[in-house]
Amino acid sequence: MIGKFQICLARVVDPEFIRAQFAAFGPVRLRRMFFGIGILADGIMFGYAVDGVVYLKTDDMIVADFATEESRPFLYPTKGGMRTLLSYWRLPERLYDDREELALWARRSLEAARRAAATPRAAKPKRVKPPAAGRLGSRRQGDHPPRAPAPRP
């Protein structure tokens, strides 16, 4: 048991199975991530495998094809309940038996991942913690007027 969530290891991700599935696509690099395996090509992650299921990267240009195949987006548990990651969708079941077409879908997902990597993200505003009132050293040099020199006796 981890927190409130039990990890289901009934369907373990087999790296050799993933490599065999993507053989028609070309060489893939696998990276252990969270509770699964990231699938990368040319240094870009375009797939994720967890609990025996492969998910591919999507974007607005290809997500409709996944929906047409009655695929679903990636879901994962959090302390507050299930969360949906809309950028990765489940590989349609029929593609596990058709490696040539799987390779086409993988190429399209890799292109979606490249488009996402090329799109600049808006920078998150940095949180600035205000200085604590009345705490010594809370003022930085230049935050207060300079002191007059002390008179000489």
- Is pLDDT larger for residue 150 or for residue 46? 46
pLDDT in tens, 51-87: 889 999 999 999 999 999 999 999 888 888 888 888 9
Helix, strand, coil percent content, the chain, rounded in steps of 5: 25, 25, 50
Find out whether 12 and 91 touch, Cβ atoms under 8 Å.
no
In this prediction, residue 40 carries a pLDDT of 97
pLDDT for residue 8 is more than 80: no
In this prediction, residue 82 carries a pLDDT of 87
pLDDT in tens, 128-139: 777 666 555 555
- Is pLDDT larger for residue 53 or for residue 34? 53
In this prediction, residue 143 carries a pLDDT of 60
In this prediction, residue 146 carries a pLDDT of 63
CA distance 99 to 21: 6
Strands 73-78 and 53-57: unpaired
In this prediction, residue 5 carries a pLDDT of 31
Q: What is the mean pLDDT of the chain?
A: 82
In this prediction, residue 120 carries a pLDDT of 79
Find out whether 88 and 95 touch, Cβ atoms under 8 Å.
no
pLDDT for residue 33 is more than 70: yes
